[in-house]
Amino acid sequence: MSKVTRKSGVVGESAIFEYGFDTLAGIEGGASAVVQRIDVTGADGVRLAAWEFLAPGRETRGESRAPEEPERPAVLLLHGLMGRALHWAGTARWLAEHRRVIALDQRGHGQSGRPPAGPHAPAAFGREAFVADAEAAVEQLGLAPLTLIGHSMGALTAWQLAARRPELVEALVICDMRASALGEASQREWEDWFRRWPLPFPTQDAARRWFGEDDPRVDRPDPGRGAFFAEVMHQAEDGWRPLFSRRQMLTARETWVHDAHWEELAQVRCPTLVVRGLDGELGRAEAQEMVRVLPAGRYAEIPDAGHYLHYDQPAAWRAVLEPFLDGVRAAS
């Protein structure tokens, strides 16, 4: 089932956590946090790295709460395609003050296992596998009923799980993810984009500059985007390369870009907040239609933010997320 490992290490040049209990500081500003790695067994036996963020002081007890404390509401954070649990560090820090907070490295991402390449790769990176992994994390870590917060592809995983297992989920946050099909042209654009990556990067800062400024897909400097991609680079023998396989990312994307996901969205019964960056990938009209389709949907948008809105505007992100979560708890 699940186990806890305690080892220390460094991610790139900007994080101070990798395995087990370590102080995590200097990411998106703010106070330190402590994280504990918990290994989870996902679909088909894939090893998944889950990270529990602990408020300062809780780590000294070796558990996330004292026996006399009431059970704290749980939150599972799901990153997007090419992301990692680390991307939620800024959000997890303040959430952990009053909640049990877990961020999951999804299969093929971060420190989680990569299913092998081969004829079964589409199934290994299909929607069923990602949803089953999230379900396994919820059940093995005893998180239900919980709040699911997902960004991009992670949001799709979150609402598919909420639709299929409503008894596990008490609230849902969808962060800049479309319900409409994106189509074959979108997939070809991604294939071309991956081929243009100037790998390896000589430094992590070089990766940050390219994704934030020099990438042809960037219309204007985007520090949040640069920071996002810098955090998924690791130092290889010849320079800085992504933690993930670009081929596997295309395989994962192939399994959902051709389909619309409105039907499953409409099956979500819990309170749901749909959040978009004003300059993100989810347009206002589609976001508002998603809210209309949801039985208990709410809408928020964040100005001066793109797709990586929790990086672009962390204070504004908290300002829309926190009241929603507090309202869910007050109503429960």
In words, the CATH class of domain 3-181+258-331 is: alpha beta
In the prediction, which pLDDT does 330 show? 87
Domain ranges of the chain: 3-181+258-331
Residue 55: which pLDDT band, with cuts at 50, 70 and 90? confident
Q: What is the pLDDT of residue 27?
A: 42
Which pLDDT does position 329 carry in this prediction? 87
What does the pLDDT average to over 278-303? 97
Which of 22-26, 65-69, 233-237: highest mean pLDDT? 233-237
The pLDDT tens digits of the residues spanning 77-120 come to 999 999 999 999 999 999 999 999 999 999 999 999 998 776 66
Averaged pLDDT for residues 59-84 = 75
Residues 288-299 have a mean pLDDT of: 98
pLDDT for the residue numbered 59: 53
For residue 269, CA distances in Å to 185, 293, 305, 313 come to 33, 11, 28, 29
C-alpha–C-alpha distance, residues 208 and 150, integer Å: 23
pLDDT tens across 319-332, in order? Answer: 999 999 999 988 87
